[in-house]
Structure 1
Amino acid sequence: VTSGWDSPSQTRFASGQYVYLTGSGFQEGQQYAIIRKLKDPNRWEGFTGQRSAVAQAGQPYGEIAHATIVQGGVRGNTAIALVTFTCDGIVPHDLAIPFVERPTPRYKDPGPFDPYALPNGKTTGRIILAKDWDQLVGKGRIVYLNIGADKGVKPGDYFHVTRFYKDLMKDPGDSLSFKASTLEETQALPNIPSSKIDELPRRALGNLMVMNVSPKSSTGILTFTMEDTKVGDGVEMFEPPPPPPPPPAVSTMPSINCVPNPATVKRGESSTVTCDATSPDNHPLTFSYSTSAGRITPRDNNALLDTSDVAPGPVAVTGTVTDDRNQTASSTANVNVEPPPAAPTPTSQTINFKRNSAYVDNKAKAILDGVALQLQQQADATAVVIGHSDTGERKSLATLRANNVKNYLVGKGIDPKRIETRTSVTPSGTAEVWIVPAGTSIPAEAAPAEAPPAATTPPAPTRKRSSRKKSAPAATSPH
């Protein structure tokens, strides 16, 4: 990279800007990786022997951008390139090499993390460098290892980041803590000797995944850290547990569930069967129905079952749903059909009267209160009151007793049009009160009855002629 669009005023170039490349073999549309030859400006070692370890691994380079030669951009040994991606600004003297797509390793779940994982005997190495020459790095940062393809390392391999306590003794800063006293002023025992440090357990501080491999080094990304990772920490390869089996394939079959309401009906009544159906991938659905008995009237996701001609017993109504791929599902709802209720029959109550009396006493009133309640509850029922007179009583008592019973019921709020009165020729000191449901009549075996006689109007009294003779007019006196 020699310069760019706004050189010499601009010295750093970002995505969407033009840079000029000097070299050979350029082709229009060719993509280049922009890399930078790196050096440590501090010349300070994060661990003893770091410079030597980096030199043995090779010259470090950083890939910082991608650029593509534009149409008509090849001008001899110079090419015009459009920057398409950057993770750092491009500067003059950065290098351009043909871009090679690298496979991206698939992330694996490393399983539960054990901070005191025992050595497993697999490949070990060391973190010798971090991006931007950092010394402390955390999750998501790039690190470089001193082992590569020559040790069998490949993209997608996993490593534990490890640290021994004895390594802290070699760090100029951390080693000072080992020299300080750890005793209380009143404690007589000496400090733990340095020889015991080697007996402390190795710690695992995090995980990293290898992204790219060269012959003697590899590039990794920290996927988990318990604390800051240091340049100089060790690494040990481990194998993540196998991934869980893939979830079962999602069915595209529709589903349906049908429910009757009500589930039990009398013969002749109806039941509505409602079917709820779904398609996992929201395809349109159509409904159809069948029944083992009766008649079905479908409407969308409902079906009306008519049991008029159905024998008592279970009736199976099956709903079927079909999607636009001709995939079907069915559900059956059972409706229990019971025999129709028995036809209502007339019932009667007997009202007793004292001899030669038509008075409705308290005992009779209690019975008639119950009759009035039944008539109120059965709004379509009527009442027939049959009055009797006993042997030796005047026959008119039968009519009077029937009328008194009717009048009492009317006083309890019963419409007089719903009450019919009759008289019976059967001798008895009672009145029968029949409650007659709609569509029925009092049984034939009831006492023969006759309608009460019509009320008669007594004849008007006749005037007797006076037997007195008319008196002669009085004489008048003359004027």
Structure 2
Amino acid sequence: MNLKSFHRTIKLSLPALALSLLTSVLYAQDLPGRVSAVPGEKQFKIAERNNLYCAGYVQSSPIDTSSRLVGAVEEQDGWLYSQNNFVYINLGASNGVKPGDMFSVVRPRGQVKTRWTTKGKLGFYVQEVGTVEIVRVKSDVSVARVKTSCDNFLLGDLVRPFERRESPLFSKRPAMDLFSDPSGKATGRLFMARDNQEVLGREQIIYVDLGAEDNVKVGDYLTIFRPLGKGNLFINDEDESVSARDEGFQSFVYRGGRFSNQAGRKSGETAKGRVVTTEKAKEGRPATLRKVVGEAVILNVKEKTATAVIVRTAQEIHTGDFVEVQ
């Protein structure tokens, strides 16, 4: 390239370069404005998909068993069905069904029996299996496509009109208070979890014995806790590791002292009394002392129970823990 061509290239490039620099400056200046121009902050849902429509629940009122899956296009090859399989339900045009209708598929699993409640009979557990969409309607039956499957479908599963649910929204909250005092509101127990889990963490579904009769509602926050010193996964017999009567901790030559640094103190102002054991030291302390292990949000409320999702944890949570409305 000769000098004349070089100057021509620079001359043509300068306007483009200036425009590029100006655009960059304006973009940088506009960046905060563009972010704040969006009305409000983006809100996130606490539960979606599997945790919203596949959580299951425990109810005490009778369930309608008249509408159910009665057949499947591929039933000659098996008895388990999932997404995009075609099934038959015993509802048709005579029941007002039309193409495009959505139905939830549920499976009552049996009565709930648990030691973690004082309410007695809580009801029966209903597993939410998924949803189907009607694609063809006949007089007394309809063909439906499995639209979503939380688990395998079985013939005999019950169908009911689909009800859209709204998830509670995340909100800015202070850090979880590990030393919070009781709120004085309704208190219950975590008596069961989805899929029979017993040791639980974030995003897992739990069932608590607080329901409509306790005035709880969707979106309520629950503190999950246990009495201080309780809930150990291993046996704790409360014995000290070393007795105050044990000796032999000093050397034979220097005789530095016979006391173990792992033994409890002696009672009395002159240390002449009995040893103060761990169990003895707990006597007289407030009964309200507790250990906060997590938080949950209620997603669905039935008569005596509620379904919730764990949103915060301080350590493992397990069935039998207490819950309290914040």
Q: Provide the TM-score with structure 2 as the length reference.
A: 0.62
Q: Which one of 221, 246, 251 corresponds to residue 309 of structure 2?
A: 221
CA distance in 2, matches of 1:161, 1:74: 48
3-state SS of the aligned residue for 1:2? strand
* 2:323 paired residue number: 235
Unaligned ranges ≥5, structure 1? 239-479
CA distance in 2, matches of 1:179, 1:26: 66
Q: Which one of 191, 196, 206 corresponds to residue 282 of structure 2?
A: 196
1:60 aligns with 2:125: yes
CA distance in 1, matches of 2:113, 2:176: 33
Q: Which one of 212, 230, 235 corresponds to residue 300 of structure 2?
A: 212
Query: Following superposition of structure 1 onto structure 2, how do residues 374-453 of structure 1 map, counting pairs within 5 Å?
Result: none
**Matched-pair contact (CA < 8 Å) for 2:132–2:148:** yes
1:35 aligns with 2:71: no
Cα distance, 1:199 vs structure 2: 3.4
3-state SS of the aligned residue for 2:237? helix
Q: C-alpha offsets along residues 37-89 of structure 1, whole Å, 9 cap, x if unaligned?
A: 1248xx995xx355x75x6332111212010111xx23343221111112222
Cα distance, 1:192 vs structure 2: 1.5
3-state SS of the aligned residue for 2:189? strand
3-state SS of the aligned residue for 1:113? coil
CA distance in 2, matches of 1:16, 1:143: 29
1:140 aligns with 2:228: no
CA distance change for structure 1 residues 204 and 49 in 2, over 3 Å: closer, same or farther? closer
Q: Which one of 142, 157, 175 corresponds to residue 220 of structure 2?
A: 157
CA distance in 1, matches of 2:322, 2:74: 46
The higher radius of gyration belongs to: 1
Cα distance, 1:6 vs structure 2: 1.3
Query: Following superposition of structure 1 onto structure 2, how do residues 209-288 of structure 1 map, counting pairs within 5 Å?
Result: 209-238=297-326
1:183 aligns with 2:251: no
Cα distance, 1:232 vs structure 2: 1.3
CA distance in 2, matches of 1:147, 1:211: 12
Name the structure where strand makes up a greater proportion of residues.
1
The percentage of aligned residue pairs carrying the same residue is: 23
CA distance in 2, matches of 1:198, 1:98: 56
CA distance change for structure 1 residues 223 and 198 in 2, over 3 Å: closer, same or farther? farther
CA distance change for structure 1 residues 7 and 178 in 2, over 3 Å: closer, same or farther? same
CA distance in 1, matches of 2:237, 2:113: 23
Q: Which one of 144, 160, 165 corresponds to residue 97 of structure 1?
A: 160
Cα distance, 1:225 vs structure 2: 0.9
Unaligned ranges ≥5, structure 2? 1-68, 247-259, 265-274
Cα distance, 1:165 vs structure 2: 3.1
CA distance in 2, matches of 1:89, 1:131: 16
**Matched-pair contact (CA < 8 Å) for 2:224–2:296:** yes
* 1:79 paired residue number: 142
CA distance in 1, matches of 2:80, 2:172: 39
Cα distance, 1:194 vs structure 2: 6.7
Q: What letter matches 2:315 in structure 1?
A: E
3-state SS of the aligned residue for 1:161? strand
CA distance change for structure 1 residues 181 and 161 in 2, over 3 Å: closer, same or farther? same
Cα distance, 1:179 vs structure 2: 4.8
CA distance in 2, matches of 1:228, 1:219: 19
Cα distance, 1:197 vs structure 2: 7.1
3-state SS of the aligned residue for 1:150? helix
Cα distance, 1:115 vs structure 2: 1.0
Paired residues, what number?
226
> In angstroms, what is the RMSD of aligned CA positions?
2.7
Cα distance, 1:96 vs structure 2: 0.7
CA distance change for structure 1 residues 153 and 7 in 2, over 3 Å: closer, same or farther? same
Q: What letter matches 1:69 in structure 2?
A: I
**Matched-pair contact (CA < 8 Å) for 2:116–2:320:** no
* 1:282 paired residue number: none
CA distance in 1, matches of 2:238, 2:110: 34
**Matched-pair contact (CA < 8 Å) for 1:36–1:63:** yes
Q: What letter matches 2:102 in structure 1?
A: Q
Q: What letter matches 1:3 in structure 2?
A: G
Q: C-alpha offsets along residues 190-242 of structure 1, whole Å, 9 cap, x if unaligned?
A: 6422782783730111111111111221111000111121111111122xxxx
Cα distance, 1:23 vs structure 2: 4.7
